[in-house]
Chain A
């Protein structure tokens, strides 16, 4: 069955970076997009962007350009998101999701909490 397993919670200091992982299983990793979503506690969902592991192509929402960087390791079926220059505004849950060929986010990871605090 399709699963997306995300890495554990992160506590980071302002100005540093964190790298979140999303390990896929149960399907052909290189045939589907992986997208990332931000959710601050008690708030709505913000779509960050996606990576296509098949060719490494990426797309970033304007708001997250320069903040997020996507990579993928096809040998381990793992997608990564690097969040840089962290501020307290980056404290949130981050989800990865598989986007099918029609643009539908059909499977989601369990989410990871990132806390930015000095």
Chain B
């Protein structure tokens, strides 16, 4: 199975800041990487797919990058509604595997 290592596990930032979350795959996943946002009590929502493609309706302050085994999610100009848990998932191979998640809080 492909292992996904996500960092940091938690993150505290101020409104307007830029934050970055990293995801490392145990092998090359050829940009088959998605990012999800999960708000408390809700199901995950797709933010980014193919490592850098923004899903419909997702604010442009979110962006994804990376290739090979290393990927990142960047949130520019942090807003209060961005407080959530963020997960990466590889969809290159089955079983699809998730990173452990990053809990983003406001400082």
User: A residues near B, CB below 8 A?
Assistant: 35, 37, 44-47, 49-50, 59, 61-62, 95, 97, 99, 102-106, 108-111
* Interface of chain B, main secondary structure: loop
Inter-chain contact B98/A47, CB cutoff 8 Å: yes
CA gap between A47 and B94 in the complex, in Å = 9
Contact of B44 among A50, A95, A104 (CB under 8 A): A95
Question: B68 → chain A, closest Cβ, in Å?
Answer: 18
Assuming the contacts A95-B44, A110-B43, A111-B43, asked whether A103 and B92 have C-beta atoms less than 8 A apart, the reply is: yes
CB–CB A47/B46 < 8 A:
no
- Chain B residues with a Cβ under 8 A of chain A: 1, 32, 34, 36, 42-46, 49-50, 55, 87, 89, 91-92, 94-101
Minimum-distance CB pairs A-B, first 4: A103-B91, A108-B43, A61-B95, A45-B98
A45 touches B101 (CB 8 A): yes
Output the least CB separation between B50 and chain A (Å): 8
Chain B: CB-nearest residue to A60: B95
Contact of A104 among B1, B87, B91, B99 (CB under 8 A): B91
